[in-house]
Amino acid sequence: MSSYQLDLFSSLGINILLALSVYCPMATGQLSIGNAGFMAIGAYVSAMLTVHVHLPLFPSLIIGGIAAAIIGVLFGFPALRLKGIFLAMATLCFGEIVRNFFMNFLQTLTGGAYGFRGIGDVPILISWIWGWVALSLVFFFFLSRSRLGLALMATHDDQTVSELIGINIVFLKVAAFGVGAFIGGVAGGLYAHYYLYIEPEFFNVWESIFIALYVIMGGMLTYWGPVLGASIFTLLPEFLRFLQDWRGAFFGVVIIGLMIARPSGLVTREILRIDFWIPYLKRRKP
Amino acid sequence: MLKILNLKAGYGSIQVLRGVSLEIEQGEIVTLIGANGAGKSTLMKTLCGILSPSAGTIEYQGARIDRKSPTARVKQGLVLVPEGRCILQRMTVYENLLMGAYARSDQSAIKTDLENVFSHYPVLAARKDLSANVLSGGEQQMLAIGRALLSRPRLLMLDEPSLGLSPLLVRDIFSIITDLHQSGITIFLVEQNAQKALQLADRGYVMETGMIVMSDTAQNLLGSKELREAYLGG
């Protein structure tokens, strides 16, 4: 693989992980546009551990993920009281708080606004990245086939009914924030050790919005949605390089077109069900 | 089985229930009738735990439950079929039923209960893998009841099950309720269709502006002149 392809596939893997980290709260009906914050926590914590404590990569990634998850759970409780656009605003502010924290505090350890240098090289990191992607997909595969997966779906669709049938929606929503934050934190750690340099600006609002867009575009109702969304957002601009100056504009048009054609995202729950395809298979419905 | 004493509840500063007291014995069908805005649905929400009361007590099977979570109440068999066919629209019929058993952990019994529901309501069996939103109004109400059955109710509360259904379907739903009662489930039925509800019930309560204004046997209520004028159309 050329280094261009290597870079592309690494960032694809990281973006898929980030998309899954937003998918988690979204699966319970909570829109988060602050997940770059969790990514930043994972990136800085794991980088500090490998650089200053000389811990190996794996435990550093896990601790970075857990640090993000703890913050995620703490954020999840007040988030319970917020809905829709207000929750989105709160998550956005959260992301900015984290970015400003790493800009202004711990500067002796992280370099602050000058950026964190000296992160050690880890060979064959791309297999680490895709290993985590595979692990996450296995997790979501089993989750979607479990009772808990059904409960997540029910909570997303109708909170009142979910409460009535005895689902503990408080637990589910907070846990979803925590799990999402963990995945985001691990993705941040991988990001830091792949690019060997991080600075607070990497984790700004734009990054958060892009991650949320992966999920909104790809579809927020199944875990395949974020995977597809992240893939399109990462790969399509590369295939459009021949358009030169028109590339950005054309990509924008493609996004608008997709949103018109499939307003609830590319992959919906229905599309994965057999009865969705029956009309296309030219058979009559039973 | 259920004993409510001086229950008060509302939304924010608006008080809807202004001291409701009523009692339901094991094995009864009790109906609650009242006009729009009397507070019937608010009472239901308070009983199942979505709304917390500001005063008063709810006693169920001899223990107070008014501070317990909805989950705990479902586990004890206090199950509500909410107003307006509250089903999970985007999930399949099968998934909806399965969710009814979410609070239970006896896997093999859940399976038998599922089969029972399917054999009692063959319409649901035929539409098992379809999205619940493609069902007709009557089928959706049936699904809501089926889902409640999977929670193994001891006291089943139904909030206006006949709402928006054609007279023929209303008859079907009421015969389902009779069957459920015969299988040993205590029924608390909230209805605007006072005539039908009282014909079915043992006893009835009449609610007006957040208070119980009448309570008697269903027979007597059907014969009562006041009630006939107010709810049964003269």
Q: Is residue B109 part of a domain?
A: no
- Chain A residues with CB inside 8 Å of B84's CB? none
Report whether B205 contacts B197 (CB < 8 A): no
Rounded CA-CA distance B124/B134 in Å is 12
For chain A, the residues whose C-beta falls within 8 A of a C-beta of chain B are 147, 150-151, 153-154, 157-158, 160-161, 163-168, 269-270, 273-275
Which of A160, A166, A273 lies at the smallest CB-CB distance from B86? A160
Interface test with A, best of B41, B52, B69, B71 (most A CBs within 10 A): B71
CA of A229 to nearest chain B CA: how many angstroms apart? Answer: 22
What CATH number is given to the structural domain containing B6?
3.40.50.300
Closest C-alpha to A229, from A6, A15, A8, A10: A15
Average pLDDT, rounded, for chain A: 91
**Structural domain boundaries enclosing B160:** 2-84+152-231
CA of A133 to nearest chain B CA: how many angstroms apart? Answer: 28
Residues of chain B with pLDDT under 70: 85, 232-234
Tell me the three-class secondary structure of chain A, residue by residue: CCHHHHHHHHHHHHHHHHHHHHHHHHCCCCCCCCHHHHHHHHHHHHHHHHHHCCCCHHHHHHHHHHHHHHHHHHHHHHHCCCCHHHHHHHHHHHHHHHHHHHHHCCHHHHCHHHCECCCCCCCCHHHHHHHHHHHHHHHHHHHHCCHHHHHHHHHHHCHHHHHHCCCCHHHHHHHHHHHHHHHHHHHHHHHHHHHCCECHHHHCHHHHHHHHHHHHHHCCCCCHHHHHHHHHHHHHHHHCHHHHHHHHHHHHHHHHHHHHHCCCCCCCCHHHCHHHHCCCCCCCCC
Indicate the number of domains in chain B: 1
Average pLDDT over residues A76-102: 93
Q: What is the pLDDT of residue A77?
A: 92
The domain limits of chain A are 3-203
Give the H/E segment covering residue B173: helix B167-182
- Chain A residues with CB inside 8 Å of B49's CB? 163
Q: What is the pLDDT of residue B6?
A: 95
ipTM: 0.82
Report whether B39 contacts B210 (CB < 8 A): yes
Q: What is the pLDDT of residue A275?
A: 67
Q: Is residue B66 part of a domain?
A: yes
- Chain B residues with CB inside 8 Å of A27's CB? none
> pLDDT for B111-139, tens place per residue?
999 999 999 899 999 999 888 989 988 89
Q: Is residue B41 part of a domain?
A: yes
Rounded CA-CA distance A101/A71 in Å is 13
Average pLDDT over residues A276-283: 70
- Chain B residues with CB inside 8 Å of A151's CB? 99, 102
Give the H/E segment covering residue B213: strand B211-217
Count interface pairs A-B at CB distance under 8 A: 70
For the ranges A12-16, A248-252, B167-171, the maximum mean pLDDT occurs at A12-16
- Chain B residues with CB inside 8 Å of A270's CB? 131
Q: Please state the pTM of the whole predicted model.
A: 0.87
> pLDDT for A137-194, tens place per residue?
999 999 998 989 999 999 999 988 898 888 999 999 999 999 999 999 999 999 999 9
> pLDDT for B161-198, tens place per residue?
988 888 888 998 999 999 999 999 999 999 988 888 99
Q: Is residue B200 part of a domain?
A: yes
Count CA atoms within 13 Å of residue B179 on its CB side.
12
Give the H/E segment covering residue B21: strand B14-24
Q: What is the pLDDT of residue B218?
A: 93
CA of B100 to nearest chain A CA: how many angstroms apart? Answer: 6
